[in-house]
A = this chain, B = another copy of it.
């Protein structure tokens, strides 16, 4: 580990989120820090990128070993702007979060927090996304500082294979109730959704997306299991959607015949 690693910090809850402030504080204890975060909340933006309108950066703060910008883009845009426009090179690590709410199980695919980190991994930069299973603005992020520092130091010291990053989720319990850290695989799960239908004052229908998360995978060794048992879950993730075990099966269809 270099004495002062260069750390790029972003999130999807926006520049004013308490979770971002806690992550910045932790990062500043470990190295030089560049922050580029969306200027508004970007939950559910997934891996969206902005191609229809131009992006802007706004400098919020600058101190020794620290600079902070907001941008008008998505979390993936923010990470890219940090790398390409602010740093003009690769940071040693990208940290994203601390997200308000779970990005375990299938939630990773909707997550802007994890999208920024996955984008870093595509560019060969190690990254970690952090999420606390507490949606409230007053979520207690102090309890987790030691654990997050351990995990960030773990990546800085050991590195990660090119193309891999970490999805870290933290149970919403008191510090003394956290049993430790478990390296896991992603649990199967899905949202059982429905649309609430309403009628507007002009007599037209509209729909609000609502849903309840259903964990379909109680297997030990999954992130959902770890979190349910008060462990912090760490899942190594990458951008390969291939369902390798199904390739042989589809080949048997003889589509080419």
Q: Is A251 an interface residue (CB 8 A)?
A: yes
23 residue pairs from A and B, CB less than 8 Å apart:
A44-B49, A46-B46, A46-B48, A48-B48, A49-B110, A54-B208, A55-B208, A57-B205, A77-B209, A80-B193, A81-B195, A84-B194, A106-B239, A122-B191, A154-B255, A158-B250, A163-B188, A164-B246, A180-B256, A181-B256, A182-B256, A185-B247, A239-B241
Where chain A touches its partner, the secondary structure class is mixed
Q: Which B residues lie within 8 Å of A244 (CB)?
A: 185
Q: Is A118 an interface residue (CB 8 A)?
A: yes
Residue in chain B with minimal CB distance to A150: B255
Q: Is A136 an interface residue (CB 8 A)?
A: no
A residues near B, CB below 8 A?
Answer: 43-51, 54-57, 77, 80-81, 84-85, 106, 108-110, 114-115, 118, 122-123, 150-151, 154, 157-158, 160-161, 163-164, 166-167, 180-186, 188, 190-191, 193-195, 197-198, 204-209, 234-244, 246-247, 249-251, 253, 255-256
Most buried by B among A54, A85, A166: A54
Q: Would A243 and B253 be within 8 Å (CB), given that A57-B207, A209-B80 are in contact? A: no
Q: Which B residues lie within 8 Å of A198 (CB)?
A: 54
Q: Would A236 and B240 be within 8 Å (CB), given that A44-B50, A193-B80 are in contact? A: no
Please measure, in the bound complex, the distance between the C-alpha atom of A93 and the C-alpha atom of B47, giving whole angstroms.
25
A141 shortest CB reach to chain B, Å: 19
Please measure, in the bound complex, the distance between the C-alpha atom of A237 and the C-alpha atom of B242, giving whole angstroms.
4
Please measure, in the bound complex, the distance between the C-alpha atom of A158 and the C-alpha atom of B249, giving whole angstroms.
10
Q: Which B residues lie within 8 Å of A247 (CB)?
A: 183-185, 236
| Contact A47 B46, beta carbon cutoff 8 Å | yes
Q: Which B residues lie within 8 Å of A180 (CB)?
A: 256
| Contact A238 B237, beta carbon cutoff 8 Å | no
Q: Would A181 and B48 be within 8 Å (CB), given that A80-B195, A207-B56, A240-B186 are in contact? A: no
Given contacts A49-B110, A77-B209, A185-B244, 7 further A-B contacts (CB under 8 A): A54-B206, A84-B193, A84-B195, A106-B122, A123-B190, A186-B240, A240-B243
Q: Which B residues lie within 8 Å of A256 (CB)?
A: 180-182
